[in-house]
Structure 1
């Protein structure tokens, strides 16, 4: 994995956007996209997943995702739509996954869990020209409630960067699985 940069950009609301640039060596882009889109497999490699599944609500295919938060904070959950596209830009094959929260009355908030209403994520993956991938991710959410500064600092310094390392391990194990 080549060095990557995780940067926080404060918004006027006091919330943060995360932008990540990185690389996954020995993980081809198609494999990275498959691992990222495989919800069942993510339950195995992402330690923060409490629940993750695809549902149909009001005729729309949505994803329900409950994320474990450290005690004494309440878990957060997300209801969102997601789409993946493979595009060709001047002969470069690029995998794009987009996700955005939706509000559906058919998917009520569970007691004791805080619903993340504002969530957006964009993931772009392309070949690094060798055996790996270059990855760009934009991530924003409004986690609701009071999030202590120690948790924000942990996310910026450790949690968000660790995601790429976890994904690389998941890709290498996915190869063995298939």
Structure 2
């Protein structure tokens, strides 16, 4: 199986847990209770890359990592999921994900690889999940659905010292097509905090979900 992510990729993902690296033209985009979002304009695409700092209560970072990785469970709590499952292509595991977009916009779908590592770093325990888009011939594009071909996301989590979880997220995707600016801004400004809140609620209910699944 081809190496998808390196040790350096994982180190880059967690090193901003203490303080995000905001050199260059990063700017504060929005700040709500427990969530701060920065953005960087990428001239080559005309889109923004985002960095998110957040504190999530109620659950441990290991629990959040388990919820984040559980595709079957996400289909229950994430209302924007149209289709989500893992595929095995030539010995390599890929994830297919179709996202619902508001009418009249076309849905988007992703084919991506991901990896989770639970790291020990100078006495700290840090959970990291990396994901990025991949081209797979066994996952042809669907009629009426726009394939997102440029996507990356990294998430790093550790205990916040107060029975909660400190989170750093870095992400970018190019949804393609003609999407109104207000939709993109809403997705970043409201959608990201909303997703984190939904994941927090899902984490609280996860143990019962696992019991009922058995």
1:3 aligned onto 2:42: no
Contact 1:77 1:114 in 2 (8 A): yes
TM-score scaled by structure 2?
A: 0.80
Contact 1:57 1:107 in 2 (8 A): no
Deviation digits for residues 6-29 of structure 1 (CA, Å, limit 9, x no counterpart): 222211121111211101111101
Deviation digits for residues 76-134 of structure 1 (CA, Å, limit 9, x no counterpart): 00000010001111111000000011001111001100000001000001000121100
Aligned partner of 1:67 in structure 2 is 99
Q: What does 1:159-170 correspond to in 2, within 5 Å?
A: 159-170=191-202
Distance 1:108 1:42 in 2: 23
Aligned partner of 2:53 in structure 1 is 21
Distance 1:54 1:114 in 2: 19
By how many angstroms is 1:2 displaced? 5.5
Listed as ranges, the gaps of 5+ residues in structure 2 are 1-31
TM-score scaled by structure 1?
A: 0.96
Match 2:74 to one of 15, 26, 42: 42
Distance 1:7 1:72 in 2: 29
Runs of 4+ residues over 4 Å off in structure 1: none
Which of structures 1 and 2 has the larger relative contact order (alpha carbons within 8 angstroms, sep 6+)? 1
Q: How many residues align?
A: 178
| SS, match of residue 126 in structure 1 | strand
Listed as ranges, the gaps of 5+ residues in structure 1 are none
Distance 2:33 2:129 in 1: 22
Contact 2:151 2:173 in 1 (8 A): yes
RMSD: 1.3
Distance 1:106 1:156 in 2: 31
Q: What does 1:77-116 correspond to in 2, within 5 Å?
A: 77-116=109-148
